[in-house]
Amino acid sequence: MKGGIMIKKIGIACVAATLLLGCTGNRSDKTGDHLGNIEDGDQVEEASWSVDTASGDLFLLVGTYTSKGGSEGIYLFRFNGETGEADSLGMAKVDNPSYLTLSPDEKFVYAVSEEDGKRSAVHAFILDKQRGQLELLNSRPVNSGGPCYITIDSRGRNIHTANYGGGSISSIRVDEDGSLAQGTLVMSFRGSGPDPKRQESPHVHSVKYTPDGQFLFAADLGTDKLYRFEVNDTPFEGQPALRESSYTEWGVPPGTGPRHFDFHPDGGRYLYLLGELSGEVIVFDYHRGALRQKQVIQADSLGARGSADIHVSPDGRFLYASNRLQADGIAIFAIDQEEGTLTRVGYQLTAEHPRNFVITPNGDYLLVGGRNDDKIQVFSVDRETGLLTDTGKDIRVGQPACLKFAALK
């Protein structure tokens, strides 16, 4: 035990996972249930589209919750960056893929299965961009409960999951072919917060590399802390990707409930942390692994204790933070370009339970997953004011939980 964490390496065997693929040319205003099933031995139907069409088109990958029915796994769409419309392409069947990440070259997709300790897993998929399909490579157990976030390093060689139920981070190596290697390193944390129901123990909710790739940060809702590890740039075989001895932590105001965070695109000069319980955004100066708190501003003025996701616009001018449970929507802030501080400029109501959202790389659209309304809303972004307008071009998906974009090529 060191610095409030316990680290163990666990040898593992492959976890069985079911893969179901479907390809259609149907519009996305129809529910995902229409996607065709492809059983073992069946010929995969090729998607009826070409990759070299309108510029700005993207793949949209949607992770979902499957436990309540209405959804079966990861859904793949083609999103038109000019019109804001989407076409459904296919689906990979997997249990509760509530968070996704892509390899740096976008050849592979990695998804968590947000389950209890025995069934929780990470799955590796090939993203076949030519045919618009996901193909399962392999799966590995997380060895901790409730993985709800996943990230990958800039070399595409190390995966880390934030495990809410287990209060831990799991790390898995990635082989040259994109598959997940055997052996899982689990780092468990200790502590609690003032809320006896939500903060009785550690609940790690997100993990993310710094823009320079030299550090990994994690947000712990249960202990009101941010954790930081240095990256082991040149690990020998069997060595961990993170330096245990570099473990550092920063406390935030009691009852914050740190959930998600984002770095400013200008070299990561600022870190913006969203508190699920406090409904506040905390602004930090960031420099070479160190943080200095400089502002706290309210994103949820109703005290609903359900703030969820946070992202900075690609041009670094605006910040968005989603709130759930009351007046579900997105708080909009302007970012001071000299100081990185925030000024609230608007609020956009959304579908119920906006757990996750994503902004197109060109900054023209913001897509929100309304989990309880089984749809993704497409908002156009006013690039001058940061304000959002609902286009009405909803994408029907059951229980959307995570949205990611990938280039068509």
Residue 378 contacts residue 403 (beta carbons within 8 Å): no
pLDDT at 341 over 80: yes
Tokens 């010929």 found at: 43
Instruction: State the pLDDT at residue 409.
Output: 87
Q: Within 10 A of 240 (CB to CB), how many other CB atoms are there?
A: 16
* Residue with more model confidence, 35 or 149: 149
pLDDT confidence of 264, banded at 50, 70, 90?
Answer: very high
pLDDT confidence of 2, banded at 50, 70, 90?
Answer: very low
Give CA–CA dist 349/56, Å, rounded.
Answer: 27
Instruction: State the pLDDT at residue 118.
Output: 87
Give CA–CA dist 166/164, Å, rounded.
Answer: 6
Q: Could you tell me what percent of the chain has a pLDDT over 70?
A: 86
Tokens 């699920």 found at: 276
* Domain residue spans of the chain: 1-19+94-254
Instruction: State the pLDDT at residue 265.
Output: 97
Q: Which CATH number fits domain 1-19+94-254: 2.130.10.10, 3.30.420.40, 2.160.20.70, 3.40.50.970?
A: 2.130.10.10
pLDDT confidence of 117, banded at 50, 70, 90?
Answer: confident
Question: What would the pLDDT profile of 4-49 be if each residue is shown by its tens digit?
Answer: 666 554 443 333 333 333 333 333 433 333 222 223 333 233 333 4
pLDDT at 402 over 70: yes
Question: What would the pLDDT profile of 214-253 be if each residue is shown by its tens digit?
Answer: 999 999 999 999 999 999 977 666 678 999 899 999 999 9
pLDDT at 336 over 90: yes
Instruction: State the pLDDT at residue 239.
Output: 78
pLDDT at 288 over 60: yes
Residue 93 contacts residue 71 (beta carbons within 8 Å): no
Give CA–CA dist 262/207, Å, rounded.
Answer: 10
Instruction: State the pLDDT at residue 43.
Output: 29
Helices (H) and strands (E) in the chain, counts: 0, 30
The mean per-residue pLDDT over the stretch 270-284 comes to 98
Which amino acid appears at position 169 of this protein?
Answer: I
Q: Give 391-395's long-range contacts (Cβ < 8 A, gap of 24+).
A: 391/84, 391/365, 393/83, 393/84, 393/85, 393/86, 394/29, 395/28, 395/29, 395/60, 395/62, 395/77, 395/86, 395/367
